[in-house]
Structure 1
Amino acid sequence: MTWIKTVSPGQATGRLRTEYQKAIRRAGKVYAIVSSMSLNPPVLESAMRLYRDVMHRESPLTRVQRELLATSVSVFNECHY
């Protein structure tokens, strides 16, 4: 649960609603890491674009290697994402 003010999926409109809908299609729900950027939809859009580019675009690393690296960093940072 975030401790900052956020916009819930039920209250989201416009660009934020679009990003929330993408999050729900991708992960089944809107995780706190996504809603933490809800007050600034352009930042959320940029963060999601960066994630997609890093994880899904052509790379010398395989998708499995990228997921393993992301998981290792999350474990090191004690982050459950």
Structure 2
Amino acid sequence: MSWIETIPYQEADGPLKKLYDRVKGPDDKIDNVLSIHSLRPHTLTGHVTLYKSVLHHSANQLPKWYLEALGVYVSHLNHCDYCFDHHFEGFSRLVNDPEKAAAFKGAVLTDSVEHYFKGAFLSGMRYAKRLTLKPKTLKEKHIDVLRVAGFNDGEILEINQVVSYFNYVNRSVVGLGVTTQGDILGLSPNDNDDPTNWNHS
């Protein structure tokens, strides 16, 4: 499950148990990406607050499927199979079209996202790749490209935050050897209207 000790739901108490009750899925399951925080519960609070804000918040304007797609792509670029598998499942549920989902997966795995995305969405993917692999090369002109493609500055911020979040979580997962063993793939805090609802479904 991971290379460090974690506290399972059944053994949790105090603040950790309260947090686990907020993020648990069916049958009291805690995703491994969340349980790795169990020795320092305050870091779980920070993680889920950021996650909920960038991916599952009603104030976001970009479609959730696109935000998930960015996460899948970044996870692939970072060789984070855990996040790739989880968020590809989430993406697939949102698009609700197996052929489109398979085409997207193929484009990501071959690093040919231009075969799936066009226009503004493709520009966002290219920005995600640069921010992930070559952040030092980013210039203001790369933001201008996103504007010309059709994104407003608020949407650019959404893209930036999703990409930055996935770079953070990918490194947490890869750096601690987290696996999907025992997880239910694709669960997330889907209630966009309530930022305090962290339950995974």
Q: Under a length normalisation based on structure 2, what TM-score does the superposition of the two structures give?
A: 0.37
Rounded Cα–Cα distance in structure 1 between residues aligned with 2:69 and 2:45: 24
Higher relative contact order structure (alpha carbons within 8 Å, sequence separation ≥ 6) = 2
Q: Does 1:5 align with 2:9?
A: no
> What's the CA shift string for 1:16-40, capped at 9, x where partnerless?
11222233237x6212211111011
Structure 2 unaligned blocks of 5 or more: 84-201
Could you tell me which residue of structure 1 aligns to residue 73 of structure 2?
Answer: 72
Q: 1:42, 1:54 → 2: CA distance?
A: 19
Aligned pairs for 1:4-43 within 5 A: 4-25=4-25, 29-43=29-43
Q: Counterparts of 1:29 and 1:74 in 2: how far apart (Å)?
A: 23
Specify the SS of the correspondent of 1:71: helix
Q: Take 1:25 and 1:62, find their aligned partners in 2: how far apart are those partners?
A: 24
My pick for the range that moved more, 7-16 or 17-26, is: 17-26
What is the alpha-carbon distance in structure 2 between the residues aligned to residue 25 and residue 19 of structure 1? 12
Q: Which runs of 5+ in 1 are unaligned?
A: none
Identity across the alignment (%): 31
Shift of 1:68: 0.7
Structure label with greater radius of gyration:
2
- Please give the TM-score of this superposition, normalised by the length of structure 1: 0.82
Provide the residue aligned with 2:64 in structure 1: 63
In structure 2, give the amino acid aligned to 1:38.
Answer: S
Equivalent position amino acid for 1:44 in 2: L
Residue aligning to 2:53: 53
Where does residue 172 of structure 2 map in the other structure? none
Contact 2:9 2:29 in 1 (8 A): no
**Which residue does the alignment assign to 2:159?**
none
Partner of 2:108 in structure 1?
none
Instruction: Name the CA distance, whole Å, in 2 between partners of 1:62 and 1:77.
Output: 23
Tell me if structure 1 keeps the 8 A contact 2:7–2:38.
Answer: yes
